[in-house]
Amino acid sequence: MPHKLPARLLGGVLAFALLASGLTGDACASEASSQRETPLVLAVKNAGPSVVNIQGQKTIRESASTPGRTDSSRQVNGMGTGVVIDSRGYILTNHHVVDGVRQINVTFTDRRKYVAKIVAFDASSDLAVIKIRTSHPLSVIRIGTSRDLMPAESVAAVGNAFGYENTVTVGIISALHRDVQVSETQAYDDLIQTDASINPGNSGGPLLNIDGEMIGVNVAVRAGAQGIGFAIPVDAAMEVAARMMSIEKLENNWHGLTLRAGVAGEPLVIRSVAAGSPAQRSGLQPGDTITRVGQVETERKLDIERGLLGLRGEAAPVEIQRNGERLALELKPARNSRARHIAAKPSSRTRNSRAWEVLGLSLKPEPRLTFTRSNSKYQGGLRIVDVRSGSPAAREGIVTGDILVGMHRWQTASLTDVDYIIDRQDIAQLGEIRFYIYRDNETLFTDINVARRGTSSRRK
């Protein structure tokens, strides 16, 4: 089992940072020599217009300390940081930064101020997307990849530390793949550890590499320690952002594409196309590489959703590569009339299961009627109602709404079936186990090493 840090030693950034007022400071600009303008200086300079400071008030309820007195509440000021991920005003931050805030105030480095609203959030991964109204395109943060990070690699954290806006701290990547339990109800998996100072108010801000690319979202600090901070890997954060900004979630539209997990620098390849979907009608096929949707160059799943968002019934031009040939198509999303299974919040029982601990999957039995209606060969399966960010299942592209119908040579029609497979004594000898997923009347598969990670931290 991966080592978990004691919950009582963690805090600071995860708690909503409290301040009576914020302090700001402006640095005097001057011409600098080429020796002073190092790659790290340029990285921070280029990222600056895409980083925002977040402030607002929330209500804190306090329990009565003595018998006979009633509980009380008070208004407190809080702060955090965000990054622009779409030029139309979409900003990524931590969920705990904006959770319960009455008015979300956003300030840019050039002192422009806006009021934002929450568009979507994912409490389990502690990420949220907020949006401001803007009359002109915003500068978007450059997004890198967390796949090839190296210990001792130089990084910089940018954020609203203790209310000191646009604070920059530098350091290195201290370690990778840290699992951090911060309380009985909140845990993070597979975090980046850094010694760049991360303080209350840094939450939701970028961890930058020396090229100025965001490679993590700052989220936590170990209280009482020096130089131990944590960030969500950007690849995991972008997977969650793609789900939060999907046209299906925000506009009740759909495209019918299933994509291989894309990261910066790798082609975005179509894994499957749903029968009768807008994507199929447009001529898109499995194996196609999508290079552009509308005005958005596509490197990851989030870019597909960004390119199709806000079309208002119009079609978007799509550029693809197929068998070495460049093709131009059009994709027009349609209203989502499919029977989608939007699950309620998973119960504590499903999140205490072995599937959640080992795989990062919250499951519930799927009615047999689902399979008979679609003339499926399957007699049963388990609907995936939640996927833990950064978990083995999430890294393989398994998403909420999929149906787990088999593992290795065994069927999975009940939670007991999954527990039996995971706890088999010979599971370690099997190495990677093939998982069979039923999605949009198609069977997909992926391989996951069940024995490698063992149990991991639970989430809220």
198-212, 284-298, 373-387: which has the minimum mean pLDDT? 373-387
Q: Same fold for the domain at 246-335 and the one at 348-453?
A: yes
Long-range interactions of 42-48: CB distance < 8 A, separation 24+: 42/212, 43/156, 43/208, 43/209, 43/210, 43/211, 43/212, 44/156, 44/158, 44/168, 44/208, 44/212, 46/142, 46/212, 47/141, 47/142, 47/158, 47/206, 47/208, 47/212, 47/214, 48/109, 48/158, 48/166
Give percent of the chain with pLDDT exceeding 90.
49
Closest CA to 92 of 208, 203, 179, 14: 203
What is the per-residue DSSP string for 4-56? -B-GGGEETTSSPP--SS-----PPP----TTTS-HHHHHHHHHGGGEEEEEE
Catalytic residue (one of 125, 203, 353, 389): 203
Instruction: Please state which of the four CATH numbers 3.30.930.10, 3.40.50.300, 2.30.42.10, 3.90.79.10 is assigned to the domain occupying 348-453.
Output: 2.30.42.10
Q: What is the pTM of this model?
A: 0.68
pLDDT in tens, 102-119: 899 999 999 999 999 999
Would you say 322 and 351 are in contact if contact means Cβ atoms under 8 Å apart? Answer: no
Catalytic residue among 50, 86, 95, 96: 96
Q: Which of 389 and 141 is assigned the larger pLDDT?
A: 141
Residues with Cβ within 8 Å of 9's Cβ and at least 6 positions away in sequence, in order, are 222, 223, 224, 225
Give pLDDT, residue 226.
Answer: 80
**Domain boundary assignment for the chain:** 246-335, 348-453
Q: Give the span between the Cα atoms of 334 and 291, in whole angstroms.
A: 21
- pLDDT surpassing 60 at residue 15: no
* Cα four-point dihedral sign 170, 388, 267, 329: negative
Determine the residue type at 414.
S
Q: Which residue has the higher pLDDT, 208 or 336?
A: 208
CB 214 within 8 A of CB 83: yes
Provide the percentage of residues in the chain whose pLDDT is more than 70. 80
| Contact of 336 with 247, CB cutoff 8 Å | no
Least confident of 81-90, 257-266, 392-401: 257-266
Query: Is-catalytic flag, 203?
Result: yes
Catalytic annotation present for 136: no
What is the secondary structure of 434-454 as a DSSP string? EEEEEETTEEEEEEEEHHHH-
Rg (CA), the chain: 23
C-alpha span between 34 and 21 (Å, rounded): 38
3 state SS of 250:
helix
Structure tokens at 169: 């701290």
Contact 369, 400 (CB under 8 A): no
Residue found under tokens 């990285």:
43
* Whether the Cβ atoms of residue 303 and residue 219 lie closer than 8 Å to each other: no
Helix (H) or strand (E) holding 404: strand 403-407
**Number of Cβ atoms within 10 Å of the Cβ of 183:** 13
Torsion angles phi and psi, residue 373, rounded to 5: -65, -35
Rounded to a whole number of angstroms, the distance between the first and last alpha carbons of the chain is 19
The one catalytic residue in 86, 95, 125, 126 is: 126
Residue 359 backbone class (left: φ over 0; alpha: ψ -120 to 50; beta: rest):
alpha
Q: Decide which of 30 and 440 is more confident.
A: 440
Closest CA to 431 of 444, 456, 448: 448
346 has pLDDT over 90: no
Task: Give the pLDDT score at 388.
Answer: 84
30 assigned to active site: no
CA angle 27, 32, 34 (to 5 degrees): 140
Lowest mean pLDDT, pick from 13-17, 36-40, 283-287: 13-17
- Alpha-carbon span 100 to 97, nearest angstrom: 9
Structure tokens at 309: 């968002």
DSSP secondary structure letter of residue 195: -
Q: What is the pLDDT of residue 314?
A: 93
Domain 246-335, CATH: 2.30.42.10
Cα 343 from Cα 330, distance rounded (Å): 32
pLDDT in tens, 204-258: 999 999 999 999 999 977 766 788 999 999 999 999 999 999 998 889 899 999 9
- Please give the Cα distance from 94 to 130 (Å, whole number): 10
